[in-house]
Chains A and B, each alone.
Chain A
Amino acid sequence: MALLAVRNLTKRFEGLIANSDINLDIPEGCLFAVIGPNGAGKTTFFNMVSGFLAPTAGTIEFAGEDITHLRQDKIAAKGLVRTFQLVQLFKGMTVAENVEVGFHLATRGGVAAALTRLAWFRRQEADVHARARELLAFVGLAAQAEQDAELLPYGQQRLLEVARALAAKPRLLLLDEPAAGLNAHETDALAALIQELNREGTTVLLIEHDMALVTRIAQRIAVLDFGCKITEGTPDEIKRHPDVIAAYLGTEEAAHA
């Protein structure tokens, strides 16, 4: 059974059809990519899956459960965690604190627990403190742990956002154009990180328009164009597919877009 099953998903903004009748199955353990030129509706699709946008029609099932109309935080609680195309860092907090927020779902305790600080809460806070630093070491930001998050260079902000999402223990990690604005070196680092996560068992759904990156790391690719899914297959199939070449790689201008 697919971990994520999208059926006839449609989004209309007034007259504009941003997503039309999209069907998609993402098997557990897969590193799946959705590609398409700018304006193809990738982010709209992503926002609907993660609950940030209500679909006009269609359903989204996650692990056999209908999540179509759930609120964002409820969806995250089910194990579907996303990052954003425009990095949503928690400014005013340190790098480590950013990751500590990621442990929100995995931990408990509100005002009363924070005031009384009983043994279990202290243990939990110490645990969060330590595990946040482990995750930072995993993405290569251990040395920056106590720094202000907003002072990180852009590439590292992206890595931090991934580390933060990982803290929420996603079953399915949605990465919205994680390589946007990264240099070649940073993109390589990110690609290696995503592959490693996937090897360790996290299902990844990636949105990208960097074809080179996607065909290198993705196991399966779906292509969107003008809001419709035009095809789906392995990287090799996609690269050879005439519709894809026409829609996405066909012209010089599109390749540079």
Chain B
Amino acid sequence: MTLRASIFTKLAGYGYVTVGGAVLIAALFAFVFIKGGYLLTVMQLAMIYGVFCVGLNFFMGYTGQASFGQNAFAAIGGYGTAILCVEYGFEPVLALLASMALAGIASVVVGYPTLRLRGHYLAMATFALGLITYDLSVQWTSLTQGYMGYAGIPPLGIGPFTVEDERAKLVCLMVILVIGLWISGRLRSSRFGRALRAISATEQGAAALGIRVSQYKLAAFVIAALYASAAGSLFAHVVGFISPEVFGLQMVVVTFTMLYVGGIGTVLGPAIGAVVASLLPQIVRSTGRFQDIAYALVLLLLLIYVPKGLSALAGIGRLRPAESSTGAADRSESAATCHEPRKRATGS
């Protein structure tokens, strides 16, 4: 087989939609980099939301639990970073890590009692958590400066190196998002990830196999909080300003949309959703005062026709199973043995 042919078959194994999607994303970033301007900011925010959603996906996607309050941990990240940098002159990276540690501790303290709840009750409790945090950020003015918010937060950087160029910021955020995705993928396909996904399907079934359900739920909650805090800090460093509104209810709604549009429970879905849901308002802006309606319409259509999220489209146009050529053989064999569940049966 020639090199070219082997590359072609390999690409075909991923499917046309996947390859096409990858090309489209690459082209999009190239366009944004060349064009610059406002689109750079849009994509920066998309990357930050992406980090948040990848984390939220641990709790809501892999583990199948509802949380309407992750914005609380983003607020801890944002305000933590802002206060540590502005008031105490911390290095941005150190402030980001310190805020993550704080958010991690807070998530254990909050999660331990809250995660005893299930389903709608858990959703309500986490929702309350988000509202409380929002109120705190508004009312506790000695700490948060209330509605005024925090300005003058330094950009990301280590020592004398700071990332101030808008394009460099975007590259930096992309790298961070990719690391976040890498961690997510690595954890998903491991003993840990399998336990989370088992819990999302049936807690009883998971417990019967010895999985400590509450412990794993808490772990997923903490991971989601760490990502959320990192996203909050990144926002503060990239934009340079935060206020309570940044981490308000809007954030919950937007990130939910991203999660479902991209594909909840998949590795790449949250990032894809973050990019698509961030760009969509820019695309529908041409419809003028109908832009909110157009935005909602597109989302509705996506949820109706791609209910499993955009990442589920990846399977379309695949010539053969991606894993290996033997996979196809297995499949045809399985069809043949459908009526013979167990060969031993004939011996009994």
Contact = CB atoms under 8 A, between A and B. Distances in A.
Interface of A: 50, 52, 71-73, 76-77, 81-84, 88-93, 97, 100-105, 107-111, 113-115, 117, 121, 124-125, 128, 139-141, 143-147, 153, 155-156, 159, 164-165, 167-168, 185-186, 188-189, 191-193, 195-196
A143 B343 CA distance: 12
B208 A81 contact: yes
Q: Which 4 A-B pairs have the closest CB atoms?
A: A88-B205, A140-B342, A114-B190, A192-B348
Nearest to B183: A115
A114 B344 contact: no
B87 interface: no
Interface stretch (B2-10, B36-44, B194-202): B194-202
B193 interface: yes
A143 B211 contact: no
Given A111-B223, A185-B345, A196-B344, A168 B191 contact: no
Interface residues of B, number: 44
Given A143-B334, A186-B341, A104 B348 contact: no
A81 B205 CA distance: 10
B contact patch SS: helix
A104 B191 contact: yes
Interface in B328-348: 330-331, 333-334, 337-338, 340-345, 347-348
B187 A111 contact: yes
Contact of A101 (B194, B341, B344): B194
A224 B223 CA distance: 47
B186 interface: yes
Given A84-B204, A153-B338, A156-B341, 9 more contacts: A73-B210, A82-B208, A89-B205, A90-B198, A93-B198, A100-B194, A101-B209, A188-B345, A192-B345
A91 B348 contact: no
Contacts of A90: 197-198, 201-202, 205-206
Given A140-B342, A192-B348, A73 B197 contact: no
B262 interface: no
A192 to B, nearest CB: 4
Nearest to A183: B341
A109 B191 contact: yes
A188 B348 contact: yes
Interface in B53-84: none
B265 interface: yes
Interface in B201-242: 201-202, 204-213, 219, 223
Which residue of A76, A108, A121, A153 has the most chain B CB atoms within 10 A of its CB atom?
A76
Contacts of A111: 187, 192, 219, 223
Which residue of B183, B333, B334 has the most chain A CB atoms within 10 A of its CB atom?
B334
A27 B137 CA distance: 63
Contacts of A121: 190
Contacts of B337: 143
27 contacts: A72-B204, A73-B213, A76-B207, A82-B208, A84-B205, A88-B205, A90-B205, A91-B201, A92-B197, A97-B194, A97-B197, A101-B197, A101-B211, A104-B194, A104-B195, A113-B190, A114-B187, A124-B191, A140-B343, A140-B344, A147-B331, A153-B341, A155-B341, A165-B208, A189-B341, A192-B344, A193-B344
